[in-house]
Amino acid sequence: MLLAEGNKRFCFQHPNDFRKCIKVKKRRDGWEENLIEWFYLRSLSFKKYEVPCLVKCYGWVSTNIGYGVVFDKVVDEDGSDSLTLKKFIKEEYEKLSCETVLEMAEELKKHCLGYSIAVTEPNENNIMVRKEASGCKFVLIDGIGGREGVSIKNILYIIFSFYARRKTKKQFFRFEKKIKIWFDRG
């Protein structure tokens, strides 16, 4: 069952585990995205990092439409599927303030910088909003460890934490500007 799709990959419900999903390439270069993400998340678990705002990645499986990577599915505390930031903003726009969204982004940035995660594409489709009793939290599902195909940068982000942090700061600066524009504060 198809849960959603991005530009490069389909995201399917895992057939044997309702808490997981499988991402499979849609475009020719979609597998690179999977490889980068998988490699990057592996490198984090190698460093023994368990980062709360990132989805867990389990490894490769073969499906009838090609190889895919298994991830935890993002769900709210009550078990229902979480919304992407895009849908969340759409649904809750009236109730939300720019400050609340900026605060959630700040929280995500703080965690990512704390673990020197290279966040390369923070945007409304790559962030999901997990609703919990205590409030809402951003979870990153895509856009980490590199973008635009496999390159030496993917390795540099893993080896040089300052390089990863620099990228993350730059990307969040742009993302914050974008949030302000959504709320007409640009």
Ligand X SMILES: Nc1ncnc2c1ncn2[C@@H]1O[C@H](COP(=O)(O)OP(=O)(O)O)[C@@H](O)[C@H]1O
Q: Which of 13, 43, 123, 125 binds ligand X (CB under 6 A)?
A: 125
**Contacts (Cβ under 8 Å, ≥6 apart) of 47:** none
Q: Which does 8 bind (CB under 5 to 8 A by kind): Mg ion, ligand X, none?
A: ligand X
Question: Which one of 44-52, 65-73, 145-153, 159-167 is the stretch in contact with ligand X (CB under 6 A)?
Answer: 65-73
131 binds ligand X (CB under 6 A): no
**Least spacing, CB of residue 85 vs Mg ion, in Å:** 11
Please give the Cα distance from 27 to 18 (Å, whole number): 26
Q: Which of 24, 35, 84, 109 binds ligand X (CB under 6 A)?
A: 84
Give the footprint of Mg ion on residues 124-163 (CB under 5 A): 125-126, 142
Closer of 76 and 176 to ligand X (Cβ): 76
Binding site for Mg ion (CB under 5 A): 6, 125-126, 142
Which residues of this protein are in contact with ligand X, per CB under 6 A?
3-9, 11, 21, 23, 33, 55, 71-74, 84, 125-126, 141-142
